[in-house]
Structure 1
C-alpha cells in the first residue's frame, strides 16, 4: 500500500500503459481518476479499479480545467499527476508529415504538459507537496528515422521534466519522466507502420532484452517514482526500455 490515501490523475488511462498504471496505483491504495478521450474506455477501467472516470481532451484548456475541478471537488487535493496521454504520426519522411498531424502530435504530447501544469501546479504549491510524472519515450533519447516530429515531442517532454523539476523543487513538488520502449499498446502499430512478424522481429532486434515493454513494466517504474520511496528523486528520465538506449 505504497500510495495509501494518495490521489492521482492519470491521463490516457483508458488503455495501454495508462490503464496499467491506474490499476497498479489503485491496488497500492491510491484514489485514481481515469482520464481518457474515450468515455467508454475511461468508464471501463474506472469501474474495474473503483476510480473516477473523466472524459478529457488533454490538448484543450477547458477540458483540463474541468478535469482539475472535478478532482478538487472529489478529493480536495491532487497528490499525483501522470501525463501519459500521447499520440504519434505514422512513420514517414519528415517533410511528408502534414501540418495537421504535426499540430496534433505537439498538442497532445507537449501542450498538454503545459496545460495540466498550469491547472494543477498551483494546488500542489498550496499543499507544499506533489509528484508529477511525464511519460516520454526512448524516442526522445535515441530517435528513429521517419518519426521525426514524434521524437521531437518526446524530447520536449524530457526537457520540460528537468526544468519543471528545478523550478518546483523549492515547493516540495517532484517531477520525473519515464522513457518506455514500444510496448503492446494501441500505438504499437502506428510506431511500426504495419504489424507483421517480420517487422516485429526487426524491431525487437533493437531491444537487448528481446521483448516489448508491458503495462506492468511501466506501472512498476511509475509506482516507484510517484511514491515516497523516491522522495529524493526529481528531474530524472528513467529508461524502461530493455537496454534499447544503450
Structure 2
C-alpha cells in the first residue's frame, strides 16, 4: 500500500459484467485508485464460465460481483418457471461458482476482498417484482453467510444493496428524463436525485481498501436516503 490508505495500487481487481450496471463506473474508479482492473464482459450463465474467467484473470486480489438483468415486472401469480430460472441464472447461480473459483487463492494468501453490487429490492417489498427481489435477496444472504465463514482466513466479503443509483441498466437516460420519474425522485428519495455512479463506485472501492478491514458479511444500503423497510 502507498501512503494513501484508500489506494488500491498493486491490487488486481476482477470486475464482472463490466459493460453493464455499475461496471463502467467501477472500472473507472478502481483504476483511478491504482488497481490493475480486469474488466470482464463474459457471459456467466454457463456453469463453467465463472471458473474460466477467474483462471484467465490469474491472481485476483479484489473481486467485484457486478451482475444485472432487466427486472421483470410480473405479478406473483403470472410469474413463470422460465422467468424464475432466467433471473436466478443471471443473478444468483454465478455467485457460488465465482467464489469457489477465487476463494482458494485468497485463503492461501490470507488476503482478498469481494464486494457484491446488490440491490435494495431485497430489503423492501415492491409490487410485481417478486422474482427479481427474491434473487437479489438470495445474493445478500449468500454474501452474509460466506462473509462470516471466510473472515478468519483474512478474506473480507461484503455487499452494497442499492437503489436509485445512476446506472445505464436500471436508470437509462430516457428514464431519467421522464418527468414522472423526476417527480418520483422528489417524492421518494430524500436526496432528491439519484446517487451518482461514481459515488457508489467510490464506496465499493472503499470496501476493498484496508480501512474497511473491520467489515465482515455486511450489507450496506446505498439508496439516496430512501429507507428500506
Q: Structure 1 length as normaliser, TM-score?
A: 0.83
If asked which structure has higher relative contact order (CA below 8 Å, sep 6+), I would say 2
- Counterpart among 44, 47, 52 of residue 61 in structure 1: 47
Structure 2 residue ranges without an equivalent (≥5):
none
Correspondence for 1:119: 101
Correspondence for 1:240: 222
Correspondence for 1:47: none
Cα offset, 1:152, TM superposition: 1.0
Q: Structure 2 length as normaliser, TM-score?
A: 0.89
Distance in 2 (CA, whole Å) between partners of 1:99 and 1:182 is: 28
Residues 18 and 62 of structure 1: is their aligned pair in 2 closer, same or farther, counting only changes over 3 Å? same
Correspondence for 1:43: none
Q: Does 1:184 align with 2:166?
A: yes
Correspondence for 1:33: 38
Cα offset, 1:203, TM superposition: 4.9
Q: Does 1:70 align with 2:53?
A: no
Distance in 2 (CA, whole Å) between partners of 1:244 and 1:194 is: 17
Task: Indicate the SS of the match to 2:140.
Answer: helix
Q: Cα deviation per residue 1:13-57 (whole Å; 9 max; x = unaligned)?
A: 113411101111011111111112xxxxxxxxxxxxxxxxxxx22
Q: Cα deviation per residue 1:160-184 (whole Å; 9 max; x = unaligned)?
A: 1110111101111100000111333
Q: Cα deviation per residue 1:107-151 (whole Å; 9 max; x = unaligned)?
A: 111111111011111111111111111111111111311111111
Distance in 1 (CA, whole Å) between partners of 2:84 and 2:62 is: 29
Distance in 2 (CA, whole Å) between partners of 1:132 and 1:26 is: 17
* 2:159 and 2:220 in contact (8 A); partners too: yes
Correspondence for 2:123: 141
Please give the root-mean-square deviation of Cα atoms over the aligned residues, in Å: 2.1
Distance in 1 (CA, whole Å) between partners of 2:135 and 2:91 is: 6
Residues 91 and 8 of structure 1: is their aligned pair in 2 closer, same or farther, counting only changes over 3 Å? same
Q: Cα deviation per residue 1:75-107 (whole Å; 9 max; x = unaligned)?
A: xx2111111111143212122223222111111
Structure 1 residue ranges without an equivalent (≥5):
37-55
The structure where helix makes up a greater share of residues is: 1
How many residues of Structure 1 are paired with residues of Structure 2 in the alignment? 222
| 1:85-96 pair list within 5 angstroms | 85-96=67-78
Q: Does 1:15 align with 2:20?
A: yes
Which 4+ runs in 1 deviate beyond 3 A? Answer: 193-196
| 1:199-214 pair list within 5 angstroms | 199-214=181-196
Task: Indicate the SS of the match to 1:155.
Answer: helix
